[in-house]
Amino acid sequence: MGLLECCARCLIGAPFASLVATGLCFFGVALFCGCGHEALTGTEQLIETYFSKNYQDYEYLIDVIHAFQYVIYGTASFFFLYGALLLAEGFYTTGAVRQIFGDYKTTICGKGLSATFVGITYVLTIIWLLVFACSAVPVYIYFNTWTTCQSIANPSKTSASIGTLCADARMYGVLPWNAFPGKVCGSNLLSICKTSEFQMTFHLFIAAFVGAAATLVSLLTFMIAATYNFAVLKLMGRGTKF
């Protein structure tokens, strides 16, 4: 009976919202960072192979890709650490809220810590909202290219000449306007779309986009749970101690 009571107390004090948000955060960040890193590498290979033969045309692009890959390493490390801290904070504040009508008296330090996490999570949510929006850009570019390839593969469904259906990397700012050839048209473009490199890179960007969405949902869950717990501690606590 004592063991059952102990398990019941643990379950009652468990921060289920924080547990779900932590799992979702780890999953989303791993998916975003892992797939995003490989998708950027695949994009670099596609540009080098099909869209430009002059290294100077895509030298800046390669530098940007490598910079983003280093940012991805830092992002993964930061979010795994921050997710663990939020989970620990969730256990603390949830336990305090569960006992708020008993003998529990929260500390001023505890309230300040909870408020700090709420503020940091709010800022991170805003920043990650921008990351989520940016992660949709490569998906849009690859989807447009894939749609063009479908039109080339089924010429009866379009009135345009196959030779005029192109994918122009310069149009999206990926390459400078003086890059040559900068674009691929017709049957050559269709052959690129059929390669495993293009298919894999396209799906990796989609997976990275899904990972960014999952991370955004986890941050929103963290923020809502932390704000609620802090509000209860702040407004309904019956005393404080140092």
Q: Which residues of the chain have pLDDT under 70?
A: 1-14, 93-111, 233-242
Task: List, in sequence order, every residue forming a beta bridge with 167; answer none if it has no partner.
Answer: 184
pLDDT at 73: 92
DSSP H or E stretch at residue 74: helix 55-98
Question: 């269709």: which residue's tokens?
Answer: 190
Distance CA 40, CA 67 (A): 11
Q: What local confidence, expressed as pLDDT, does residue 238 receive?
A: 45
Please say whether the beta carbons of 42 and 203 come within 8 A. no
Q: Quick: pLDDT tens for 8-31.
A: 555 555 677 788 889 999 999 999
Q: What is the pTM of this model?
A: 0.86
Q: Is the dihedral of CA 190, 193, 197, 198 positive or negative?
A: positive
